[in-house]
Structure formats: C-alpha cells, structure tokens
Amino acid sequence: MVDENEKTRNTFEDKVILTTITFSLLLAVLLFLFSKAPGTGTVVATFLGLGLAALVYRFLGGIGETSFQIRAWKIAGTGAFLIGTIWFIDSRLQTEVAWNPPPNNTLWFAVDSRGMPLEVIVEGAGAIKLPDPEIWSKSQLKVKKAGDLFQVYAGNDSVSFNHGYVTKENLASLNLANTFSLTVQPGKFVITDSLLRPYTKHYNLDPLPFFISTGRYGGEYSRYSLHNRTGEKLYQGQIRGRGAEIIEIGDKHYFVAVTMVNHQLPEWKDKYAKFAIGELKIQTALK
C-alpha cells in the first residue's frame, strides 16, 4: 500500500522533472533553430544535457534505482539516447571551435634567418619541400630581372630555390635600384683661384655655401675642413696626392678633389694644393 505522503512527493517530483525536461529541450530547440549569436552551441549543449539528465532519471529508470536490476530495454534505450544526444551536441560544439578562415598553406611558408624555407605541414597536407642540403651552407639571397618582375631566389652556382617575385614598386619602396649615375649640379662647382698654402683659413667657395680651411700638408696628404657661413665646422678630411673623395653634408653629396699639389718644397709655407669642389646630383632607377 502506497503512503499518501510518498504519493504526494512523487507527484511533486514528477512535476519538477517534467518541467525541467520540457523547458530544457524546448529552449535548446529554439536556440538551435533561430539563434546565430556566438556561443549558441555551448548554450544548446548545456540545456540538452540538463534535459537529458532529467529524462534518464525519470523515464529510463534513473541512475540510482536501476543498477544492474533494470530491464534490458531500459539499458538499451538509455545507451541509444545518450549516443544520439552526444553526437548532436558534438556537432553543435564544433561550430564554436572552428578556425575561420582555415589555414591555407599554399599562400605562405616560414623562412629561417638566412631566408631559406622551413618545412611546414598544415593539417597533414601540402608540406613545403626542403631545398637541397647544399643550399643551407652556401646560399645567398639574390634578385634577378624576369620580364617586368624581379625574381628572388637563394642558392649558389649549382642549386637554387625560388622564393617568388617582386615588382619595381616593391624595390623602389626600399630605395633599391639597379642603375646609378652622378652628375655635377649646374652652377654648383668651384675651383680655388689660388694655390692654398698650409693653414689657410676660411677661403670662400662661393657659389657653394662653404668656406674651406687647410691644415698640415705632409705624408702625401692635403688636410682640409669645410665650414658654413657662420664658421661652424661641417667636415674634416684629407686627400692623398691628386685624389678625390665624395662626402655628405646634410642631405646633399659633394666631391672634393685636389687638382694641383706640391708637398716636396723645403719650406712648409711654400707647399700648396689646389682644390675643386662641386655638388653632386645622384640619380638611381630601376630598369
């Protein structure tokens, strides 16, 4: 005979379980059909798990009461329901962890500090083939013109690996060029009218914005310095014999040459050098 209190308790328990099952499964279905928000798969899986737990407990015998004494259909039904629900939950959770977009190993590869490709396997397919082992020890990165593009490759005389191609615009953005020329800027050239003796101070180099001062002559070298109009020293150098050098002052380049020289005279004050100075125009281009 069933006790009235036990009957009342079972009735209340049934209501709670049925409400949980109905609410959980209904909400899971609605979210599955209509929600596109991130994380929906996790929420759907949570409510399905809650409904599943209540369903197993109430209709398939319960975990605590069945043990090894429940009928065979209850075991089979519970197993089938669990497997089906797990498959559905797993398919929903996959959307939460998918990498979007997936990696595309045909568009990139890794290189080491020498510019050589490293073997990279993405999802087990499309591994980049390693170059010949000889390249690793003797390789140099080179650029070769190929039509309107420039081929970048690494290698030596016997083997090479092609890295791809770059355009003229790519190289120009790095201030790279394959042609070079130097010319003197019109009206920016001067030769000293007189022979400059050692320790000459502030000889005017008009039209250039400089003065030139000389230092000690000897050891085949003519020592000099260039100053701005206020007397500030901008550059100091030395030229051997009738040589020349190219210097940079500010953002401009100049050449300084000795056109006449005699350091063999017995008196130091009789030694002389004659200088030519000009501003250079540097032109670079890609062809």
- Alpha-carbon distance of 224 to 236, in angstroms, equals 6
Give the pLDDT mean for 80-98.
62
Same domain assignment for residues 243 and 268? yes
Distance CA 32, CA 188 (A): 80
Domain end, chosen from 43, 76, 97, is at: 97
Q: What angle do CA 75, 78, 84 make, to 5 degrees?
A: 135
Q: Which two tokens stand for residue 49?
A: 């798990």
Among 152, 174, 196, identify where a domain stops: 174
Confidence at residue 25, expressed as pLDDT on a 0 to 100 scale? 75
Task: Examine the fold and report which residue of 174, 208, 226 is the final residue of a domain before the chain moves on.
Answer: 174
Give the other-Cβ count within 10 Å of 172's Cβ: 13
Range of the domain at 124: 102-174
For residue 79, pLDDT over 60 is answered with: no
| Statement to judge: residues 59 and 146 lie in one domain | no
Cis peptide preceding 102, ω within 30 of 0: no
Mean pLDDT of 150-156: 76
Q: Is the pLDDT of residue 128 over 70?
A: no
In this structure, the answer to whether residues 72 and 147 fall within a common structural domain is no
Are residues 201 and 281 located together in one domain of the fold?
yes
Task: Report CA torsion sign: 238, 244, 245, 251.
Answer: positive
Mean pLDDT of 158-176: 77
Both tokens of residue 211?
Answer: 């003065």
pTM: 0.44
Q: What per-residue confidence (pLDDT) applies to 259?
A: 92
Q: How many distinct structural domains can be found in the chain?
A: 3
Report the C-alpha gap between 198 and 273 in whole angstroms.
8
Candidates 245, 208, 252; CA nearest to 224 is 245
Going by DSSP bridges, is the β-strand pair 179-191/160-166 parallel, antiparallel, or unpaired? Answer: unpaired
| pLDDT at res. 30 | 80
53 and 116 fall within a common domain: no
Cα distance from N-terminal residue to C-terminal residue, the chain: 105
For residues 65 and 109, membership in a common domain is answered with: no
The predicted model gives 220-242 an average pLDDT of: 93
Residue 66 has pLDDT above 50, yes or no: no
Same domain, residue pair 279 and 240: yes
Q: Do 118 and 148 lie in a common domain?
A: yes
Same domain, 74 and 163: no
Residue 197: CB atoms within 10 Å: 14
pLDDT at 90 (0 to 100): 62
